[in-house]
Amino acid sequence: MKTKITRRSFLKNTSLVIAATAFSGSFTLFNASPARGDSALPFKPHAFLEIAADDGITVWVGQTNLGQGTHTGIPMIIADELDAAWERVAVKTALAAEPFKDPQWGAQVTGGSTSIRHRWDLLRKVGAAARQMLVEAAAEEWKIPAGQCTARDGRVLHPDGRSLSFGQLARAAAQRPMPENPSLKTPQAYGIIGTSRTRLDIPDKVMGKTVFGMDFTLPDMCIALVARPPRFGASLGAFDEKAALAVKGVVKVVPLENRVAVCAQTTYAAMQGRDALGVQWSPGSRPDLDDAALDKIYKDYLEKPGVTARNTGDVAAAFAKAHQTLEQAYKLPYLSHAQVEPINCTAHVEKERCRIWMPTQGQTGTQLTAAKLTGLPPEKVEVMTLPAGGGFGLRAEIDPVVDAVLLSKALNRPVKVMWTREDDFANDYFRPAGQSRIKAGLDKDGRLTAWSHKLAAPSVMSRLMPHAVEKGIDPDAVSGVRDMPYALPNLLVDYVMVNLPIPVGFWRSVGYSANAFAVESFMDEMAHAAGKDPVQFRLDHMEKDARPYQVLSLLAEKGGWNSPVPPGRARGVAVTSCFESFAAHMAEVSVNDKGTITVHKMVCAIDCGTAVFPDGIRAQAESGVIMGLSNAFHEKVSFAQGGVKTANYDAYPVLTMSEVPEIEVHIAKNNLKAGGVGEPVFPSVAPAVANAVFKATGVRLRELPFKRESLVKG
Amino acid sequence: MFTFTVNGKKKQVDAAPETPLLWVLRDNLGITSVKYACGVAECGMCTVLINGKARRSCVVSVEEARESDITTIEGLPDNHPVKLAWIEKQVPQCGYCQPGIMLQTVDFLSRTPNPSEAQINQAMDDVICRCGSHPRMKQAIVLAAQMTAKQGG
């Protein structure tokens, strides 16, 4: 089934024909794919690729540019198979369309580290097919067999030394049939994949030219802020429309379902107008919820019977025979995405069409939502993906789309809905909190014989993809536990679904972000209980020479695990497998008498298959370390009186410059299928640090963010 | 009416005196490289240079900024050492925070032309980059300082 979809979208020879959209004045349209037949663009073999008569090559990308590097990695793959001259390659973001849907998921989404790994064959085939068509066009021109021609650096070469450029061949190539099975390069022949390139989007970002969603503007556009319930389940009461309208620049107050929008000519007027509303809200459905209550609620859930998400062997029998058993509990907090650009969406609803401009991670969801609200068919809804100031999963949510479309309809003009930072914290779909209790047994040789893992956590999938939740098991909630990278003879995983009105959503690496901390910390506890080296203990429980084994070995070797530790410091490791990749981290820390932990160095090893864009991978690995340390030391959303207490970055500090350690990244070299990057580089950071802290102090930190009180001496 | 200079050009805006300069630059003048992220001077993304000093424009009123000389990222030449170093070291990821951080760097380097790592850590510890571009920022700051020294300031 998967293959079929891939082939269909590949073979369609898609050409995006989108009416050029012009705005009044000098307003430039964002990157709408030009229609086929434009004289300057004679060759458009696929929706992803255009070759112009002047040799310019444009790669159209449907994935969201969140700064993760895929807007360079994707063009690198296509250009390599095409044998293009890299300096002639430009990248543009396409309007949402069928060919840009994920071939495995059937929807256009940027998430799950899928941008390349779900298109690995497709992207290479697009480049290879175009190259074959260009070569055949040259062969025909020269009246020689195509097999005698070669392509290199944007030209096709005749055996006698003559050559024609891709631009010169473009028109003739366009007449040729699209090959169904173009031959792909062997990895040894790659000339762009795996090489050092600079990111195509960086110059504009440095010059301040990049137009993020928040920066987008249209003639006659209103800016809208929406007053939303400040507490879970709170109902809209009275509000002072007149006071809002009295603010200069406020255009209209629009009540929506259980919320009120203030539309204004400027952002500041919208802010003042919303304040002036003085909205009254009911106390909400759970005024009892605060941090202490939540801790107790999770603890109680952990005592309830769960559903079995995995049951291998016979854990009870193995415990009965164990030489030694250990049991511990772990706690993880709710996390905010805290992406720097607040949520926003611009919509313009007209009679015959609806246009959306948004830094969305979910184009298909956006399109379908707008179609439903306007009554227009989805193809009449244009979704232009704007560059995003971070996202980490939150930008796939549709709330701002709903508001922007409803308000544009109500005002009959373009409307940009934006959230303030306070709105962003209050209305986030948080990374779920969780508590878990793990028990494991060792035999007399210090080998793990059984692992029983019970966890209580809310379910993201129940809201977003309920069909994926089977028999009460949310596959994301138990990820990293039931698929831990260890081959254990007896493994029991029980899941208790926590039901609370606190909204939860996808957050970088999803379930792995929480569960890897518990699994990899407890693995360390077991290694110490067994009196074994933490790296060797892990290796001993992995399939020998499998990829997790290799990536951990690479980390140990490159990070110098067996080399002398600098005085006063200690090391810890952790490893995870997720998103078709494998990553491990080593932390080197010291802890002073006041309990202050200093992370001196982090080493990351990653095996993501073919390393398409190595510097992009390194940047993501640095990002993973910093966000992981930020989680470990700082991040926790607080709740009070049944609502979100955390309101801004002052109450939700993220890691800053002076806390950033030296970071070393080692990328495994192999030619396997490309795996994910942005997420796999993250989950093993926090447990590696906790394990190093234990080594340094003998104190085990079983909760995130770390509570340093337990580390104070004397 | 308030008048000031932005990137060398005289500007006049009609706004309530307490309006944060951030919104005047973005909404009235269309200079959207000046970013909004927190509104409470926690993050540094709205930083502009006011008479050469890095200021967080979300907490500077338009009244306070009157008659001042304001520089945004567009006001630095394309070959400014900070811009060149930021590209050379491939600093940005999402890039949203970078213009403000680069302008704070310009101010910092003007006072500390040859900074130590500890000075960089201290001077740049009050900005937020959620993507984690810090290691590259540090390298770019050092490179920009070296380039500036070579150019003779």
Distance from CA of B99 to the nearest CA of A (A): 6
CB interface of A with B, residues 434-493, below 8 Å: none
Phi/psi of residue A456, each to 5°? -115, 120
Residue B130 contacts A, CB cutoff 8 Å: yes
Q: Is the ipTM of this complex over 0.95?
A: yes
Six token digits for residue A165 = 């450029």
DSSP A380-449: GEEEEEPP-S--TTGGG--HHHHHHHHHHHHHTS-EEEE--HHHHHHT--BBPPEEEEEEEEE-TTS-EE
CB interface of A with B, residues 255-294, below 8 Å: 265-268
Q: Cβ–Cβ of A341/B96 closer than 8 Å?
A: yes
* Distance from the Cα of residue A571 to its chain's centroid: 29
- In the prediction, which pLDDT does A580 show? 98
Six token digits for residue B52 = 């050469």
Nearest CB to B132; choose among A267, A391, A623: A623
Six token digits for residue A472 = 């009460």
Q: Is the pLDDT of residue A670 over 70?
A: yes
Element (H, E) at A327: strand A324-332
Q: Which of A497, A378, A484, A527 is CA-nearest to residue A432?
A: A497
CATH 3.10.20.30 residue window(s) in chain B:
2-72
Q: Binning pLDDT at 50, 70 and 90, where does residue A386 land?
A: very high
Instruction: Name the average pLDDT for chain A.
Output: 94
**3-class SS at A320?**
helix
Residues in chain B with CB shorter than 8 Å from the CB of A208 are: 33, 72-74, 99
Cα distances from A47 to residues A50, A312, A359, in angstroms, run: 8, 46, 21
Residue B45 contacts A, CB cutoff 8 Å: yes
- Is residue A428 within 8 Å of residue A337, measured between CB atoms? yes
d(CA A365, CA A464): 11
Work out the average pLDDT over A593-620.
Answer: 97
CB interface of A with B, residues 650-669, below 8 Å: 650, 654-658, 660, 663
Mutation choice for B interface testing from A198, A631, A652, A657 by most B CBs within 10 A: A657
Q: Cβ–Cβ of A208/B73 closer than 8 Å?
A: yes
Six token digits for residue A375 = 């009554």
Q: Cβ–Cβ of A341/B122 closer than 8 Å?
A: no
CATH 1.10.150.120 residue window(s) in chain B:
81-151
Please tell me chain A's helix, strand, coil percentages from 3-state DSSP, rounded to the nearest 5.
35, 25, 45
Q: Which of B25, B28, B82 is CA-nearest to residue B55?
A: B25
- pLDDT per residue as tens digits for the range A338-365: 999 999 999 999 999 999 999 999 999 9
Nearest CB to A267; choose among B27, B86, B133: B27
Q: Is the backbone peptide bond immediately before A705 cis, with ω within 30 degrees of 0?
A: yes
A587: Cβ contacts below 8 Å, ≥ 6 apart: A571, A572, A573, A599, A601, A602, A685, A688, A689, A691, A692
Q: Cβ–Cβ of B92/A205 closer than 8 Å?
A: yes
CB contact burial A250-259 (16+ within 10 A = b; e otherwise): bbbbbebeee
Nearest CB to A658; choose among B121, B129, B135: B121
Superfamily of domain B81-151: [2Fe-2S]-binding domain (1.10.150.120)
Helix axes A120-142, A2-11, angle to 10 degrees: 40
Q: Is the pLDDT of residue A602 over 80?
A: yes
- In the prediction, which pLDDT does A708 show? 84
- In the prediction, which pLDDT does A713 show? 82
Residue B117 contacts A, CB cutoff 8 Å: no
Residue B140 contacts A, CB cutoff 8 Å: no
Nearest CB to B37; choose among A215, A421, A655: A421
**Which chain A residue has its CA at the smallest distance from B76's CA?**
A207
Q: Any bridge partners for residue B55, and if so which? A: B48
- In the prediction, which pLDDT does A710 show? 85
Q: Where are the beta strands (DSSP E) in A136-218?
A: 150-152, 155-157, 163-165
CB contact burial A209-245 (16+ within 10 A = b; e otherwise): ebbbbbbbbbeebbbbbbbbbbbbbbebeebebebbb
Q: Any bridge partners for residue A352, and if so which? A: none
d(CA B30, CA B32): 6
Q: Binning pLDDT at 50, 70 and 90, where does residue A254 land?
A: very high
Q: Which of A79, A20, A7 is CA-nearest to residue A48?
A: A79
Tracing tokens 């064959």 back to the chain, one arrives at A121
d(CA B145, CA B153): 9
Residue A21 contacts B, CB cutoff 8 Å: no
Mutation choice for B interface testing from A268, A431, A613, A652 by most B CBs within 10 A: A268
d(CA B28, CA B16): 12
- In the prediction, which pLDDT does B152 show? 65
Q: Which CATH number fits domain B2-72: 3.10.20.30, 3.30.365.10, 2.30.29.30, 3.40.50.300?
A: 3.10.20.30
Residues in chain B with CB shorter than 8 Å from the CB of A203 are: 87
**3-class SS at A201?**
coil
If 0-12 CB within 10 Å is exposed, 13-18 middle and 19+ buried, where does residue A641 land? middle
Q: Cβ–Cβ of B134/A657 closer than 8 Å?
A: yes
Six token digits for residue B50 = 């006011």
Q: Is the pLDDT of residue A34 over 80?
A: no
Chains A, B: CB contacts under 8 A, how many?
167
CB interface of A with B, residues 223-262, below 8 Å: 223, 248
Element (H, E) at A224: strand A222-227
Q: Is the pLDDT of residue A5 over 50?
A: no
* Rg of chain B, C-alpha, whole Å: 15
Q: Is the pLDDT of residue A19 over 90?
A: no
d(CA A474, CA A594): 41
Distance from CA of B87 to the nearest CA of A (A): 6
d(CA A46, CA B48): 44
Between A71 and A9, the higher pLDDT residue: A71
Q: Cβ–Cβ of B37/A655 closer than 8 Å?
A: no
DSSP summary character for residue A477: T
Alpha helices in A99-230 (DSSP H): 120-142, 166-174, 202-207
* Distance from the Cα of residue A233 to its chain's centroid: 29
Mutation choice for B interface testing from A63, A196, A206, A346 by most B CBs within 10 A: A206
d(CA A448, CA A626): 32
CB interface of B with A, residues 86-115, below 8 Å: 86-87, 90-99, 102
Q: Is the pLDDT of residue A37 over 60?
A: no
Please state the three-class secondary structure of A365-386 as a single string: HHHHHHHHHHCCCHHHEEEEEC
d(CA A669, CA A660): 27
d(CA A484, CA A108): 29
CB interface of B with A, residues 51-90, below 8 Å: 72-74, 78, 83, 86-87, 90
Q: Any bridge partners for residue B24, and if so which? A: none
- In the prediction, which pLDDT does A17 show? 30
Work out the average pLDDT over A490-507.
Answer: 98
Residues in chain B with CB shorter than 8 Å from the CB of A69 are: 93
- In the prediction, which pLDDT does A40 show? 53
Q: Cβ–Cβ of A622/B132 closer than 8 Å?
A: yes
Six token digits for residue B111 = 């006072």
pLDDT-flagged residues of chain B (< 50): none
Residue A426 contacts B, CB cutoff 8 Å: no
- Domains of chain A with CATH codes: 2-206 (3.30.365.10), 213-282+343-418 (3.30.365.10), 292-334+430-711 (3.30.365.10)
